[in-house]
């Protein structure tokens, strides 16, 4: 751990970091961590001027630069990327219902925006580019997952040729981030506080539980250790949604009432972070899975005639077969994070 911390210090020393979608939950959390290092500059790139203003006031650091722009606009991301060493690409439409109702918007942000950001990074000779992805990109059934899956495919395809440009492209993938704006937890807290019914899709439903701090540590791990085209997944505990609801009630000291409402738009019963097919290439690093890149180049003959002889008769890594937390353990975990349910 000490050696890794030294690597982190060395990695960020006198470097310029760009965070797309930098005013979101991840961006504001990673910014706090990065402020501890001897960086040259941190650029917060987003289109929300109100959130930028709030973050600027709260940060109060002249080494942090705020740039208004949109990853959908190649010109604006090109301008922001000049002189940048590392990119954390967090800009995305992340809520399943929003993407289901407006899939074209998900396409423009999650697919076109990612391609723009990758191309800009390569053009500006960025050292390393980390794409933040999601469990929903594995076996995708909704527009959000499909758009993020294609974003991953774009990065992996470019990683096979971007080595000529010396830009390393990597992916981090994680499930439900507790307390983020896309999480059900703040809503459960708000409903339970008002003694309202908590809606449950299915009593069998499970979800991974990951803190924002864990998501930041995963991205930094990928930045320090990642090689071309690799995907990093943190092993996380999981739980039943029914137990999560009970834990929320326990923390508020109220008796929660739940109601099974049935499947919602684009919703899965369980989350999957590593597919069966990816497990063939996955390396178990105790705390993480590292999915190495398929190093065969973009060659149609190899694609058609040179398969991987390893068996794919493996189990995927999902929220049903991961370590399950009980109500007491979930309650304890929730107390460690800040939940905004006002």
* pTM strictly above 0.75: yes
With a cut of 90, say whether residue 136 has pLDDT above it.
yes
With a cut of 90, say whether residue 120 has pLDDT above it.
yes
- CA-wise closest residue to 187 among 260, 245, 134: 245
Q: Mean pLDDT, to the nearest integer, of 139-145? A: 95
Could you count the other beta carbons within 10 Å of the beta carbon of residue 191?
Answer: 20
Tokens coding 265 = 């738009």
41-50, 124-133, 159-168: segment of lowest average pLDDT: 159-168
d(C-alpha 280, C-alpha 90), whole Å: 27
Question: What's the number of CA atoms in the CB half-sphere (13 Å) around residue 116?
Answer: 23
Residue 261 maps to a domain? no
Residue 266 maps to a domain? no
Residue 251 maps to a domain? no
pLDDT band, very low/low/confident/very high, at 212 (cuts 50, 70, 90): confident
- Active-site residues, by number, are 136
Q: HEC states along the chain?
A: CHHHHHHHHHHHCCCEEEEECCCCHHHHHHHHHHCCCCCCEEEEEECCHHHHHHHHHHHCCCCEEEEECCCCCHHHHHHHHCCCCEEEECCCCCCHHHHHHCHHHHHHHHHHHHHHHHHHHHHCCCCEEEEEEEHHHCCCCCHHHHHHHHHHHHHHHHHHHHHHHCCEEEEEEECCECCCCCCCHHHHHHHHHCCCEEEECCCCCEEECECHHHHHHHHHHHHHHCCCCCEEEECCCEEEHHHHHHHHHHHHCCCCEEEECCCCCCCCCCCEEECHHHHCCEEECCCEEEECCCCCCCCHHHHHHCCCCCCCCCCCEECCCCCECCHHHHHHHHHCCCCCCC
pLDDT band, very low/low/confident/very high, at 263 (cuts 50, 70, 90): confident
Kindly give, in sequence order, each residue whose CB lies less than 8 Å from that of residue 169, ignoring residues fewer than 6 positions away. Answer: 118, 121, 128, 129, 131, 155, 156, 158, 159, 162, 228, 229
Tokens coding 95 = 């809520």
Could you count the other beta carbons within 10 Å of the beta carbon of residue 169?
Answer: 29
- The rounded mean pLDDT for the chain is 89
24-33, 132-141, 303-312: segment of lowest average pLDDT: 303-312
Residue 335 maps to a domain? no
- CA-wise closest residue to 130 among 43, 232, 59: 232
With a cut of 80, say whether residue 314 has pLDDT above it.
no
Residue 55 maps to a domain? yes
According to the model, what pLDDT value does residue 283 have?
93
pLDDT tens track for 178-208: 877 667 888 899 999 999 999 998 999 999 9
Residue 187 maps to a domain? no
Whether 147 and 99 have beta carbons less than 8 Å apart is answered as: yes
With a cut of 60, say whether residue 221 has pLDDT above it.
yes
pLDDT band, very low/low/confident/very high, at 264 (cuts 50, 70, 90): confident
- CA-wise closest residue to 266 among 166, 151, 81, 134: 134
With a cut of 70, say whether residue 338 has pLDDT above it.
no
Residue 111 maps to a domain? yes
pLDDT band, very low/low/confident/very high, at 267 (cuts 50, 70, 90): confident
Percent of the chain with pLDDT over 90: 70
pLDDT band, very low/low/confident/very high, at 342 (cuts 50, 70, 90): very low
Tell the burial category of 220 from Cβ atoms under 10 Å away from its Cβ (0-12, 13-18, 19+).
Answer: buried
Domain range for 218 is 2-177+209-235+272-299
Q: Mean pLDDT, to the nearest integer, of 56-71? A: 94
Whether 336 and 209 have beta carbons less than 8 Å apart is answered as: no
Spacing of C-alpha 252 from chain mean position: 29
Whether 179 and 340 have beta carbons less than 8 Å apart is answered as: yes
According to the model, what pLDDT value does residue 248 have?
93
Q: How many domains does the chain have?
A: 1
Whether 119 and 159 have beta carbons less than 8 Å apart is answered as: no
Tell the burial category of 302 from Cβ atoms under 10 Å away from its Cβ (0-12, 13-18, 19+).
Answer: exposed
pLDDT band, very low/low/confident/very high, at 20 (cuts 50, 70, 90): very high
Residue 142 maps to a domain? yes
Q: Which CATH number is 286's domain given? A: 3.40.50.720
d(C-alpha 51, C-alpha 89), whole Å: 18
């Amino acid at each position: 751990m000490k050696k890794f911390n030294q690597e982190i210090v060395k990695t960020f020393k006198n470097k310029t970091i760009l965070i797309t979608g930098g005013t979101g939950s991840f961006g504001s959390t990673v910014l706090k961590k990065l402020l501890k290092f001897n960086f040259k500059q941190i650029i917060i790139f987003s289109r929300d001027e109100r959130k930028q203003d709030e973050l600027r006031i709260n940060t109060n650091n002249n080494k942090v630069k705020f740039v208004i722009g949109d990853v959908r606009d190649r010109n604006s991301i090109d301008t922001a990327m000049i002189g940048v060493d590392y990119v954390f690409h967090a800009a995305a439409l992340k809520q399943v219902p929003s993407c289901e109702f407006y899939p074209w918007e998900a396409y423009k942000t999650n697919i076109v925006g990612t391609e723009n950001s990758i191309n800009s990074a390569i053009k500006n000779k960025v050292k390393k580019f980390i794409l933040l992805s999601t469990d929903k990109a594995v076996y995708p059934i909704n527009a959000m997952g499909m758009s993020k899956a294609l974003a991953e495919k774009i990065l992996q395809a470019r990683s096979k040729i971007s080595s000529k440009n010396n830009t390393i492209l990597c992916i981090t993938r994680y499930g439900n981030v507790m307390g983020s704006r896309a999480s059900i937890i703040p809503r459960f807290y708000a409903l339970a506080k008002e003694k309202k019914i908590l809606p449950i899709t299915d009593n069998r439903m499970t979800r991974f539980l990951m803190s924002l701090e864990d998501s930041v540590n995963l991205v930094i791990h990928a930045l320090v250790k990642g090689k071309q085209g690799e995907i990093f997944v943190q092993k996380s505990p999981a739980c039943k949604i029914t137990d999560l609801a009970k834990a929320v009630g326990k923390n508020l000291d109220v008796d929660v009432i739940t109601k099974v409402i049935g499947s919602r738009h684009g919703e899965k019963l369980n989350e999957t972070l590593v597919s069966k097919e990816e497990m063939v290439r996955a390396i178990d690093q105790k705390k993480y899975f590292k999915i190495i890149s398929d190093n065969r180049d973009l060659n149609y003959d190899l694609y058609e005639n040179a398969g991987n002889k390893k068996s794919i008769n493996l189990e995927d890594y999902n929220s049903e077969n991961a370590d399950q937390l009980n109500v007491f353990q979930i309650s304890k975990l929730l107390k460690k994070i800040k939940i905004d349910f006002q």
